[in-house]
Amino acid sequence: MLRKRFDYTPICSAAGCGADAIYKIAAPWSDGKSRELKNYGLACESHRDSQLARGKIHREGLRLAEGESVGPTGVYRLEPGAIDAKLSRLPDHDA
């Protein structure tokens, strides 16, 4: 990591970007007992749409084990210190 901060700062997953990530691309996953967000990458403001498109492609290639289910891939706003379940899903595109 080239960046050093007092705390962990998520970085955009787009190749060669390196900007601070403010969005998480993820899909709600469940195996029937527990639920979590399946993470498909992090995005800054300018890579939000491209990372979402990439996440959707990954999602389509995903094979699920018996009993597993995955919801639609979406954009979640990253909140420092917040657990996945507390993140709020945003619209795919700005209105």
Give the footprint of Zn ion on this chain (CB under 5 A): 12, 14, 17, 19, 44, 47
Cβ distance to Zn ion smaller for residue 28 or 54: 54
What are the DSSP calls for 42-84, one per residue? Answer: EE-GGGHHHHHHHHHHHHHTPPPPTT-EE---EEEE--TT--G
CA distances (Å), origin 81, targets 37, 69, 85, 91: 15, 26, 12, 22
Cβ distance to Zn ion smaller for residue 10 or 71: 10
Task: Compute the least distance from the CB of residue 41 to Zn ion, in Å.
Answer: 10
Task: Compute the least distance from the CB of residue 31 to Zn ion, in Å.
Answer: 31
Cβ distance to Zn ion smaller for residue 21 or 28: 21
Q: CA–CA separation, 16 vs 79, rounded Å?
A: 23
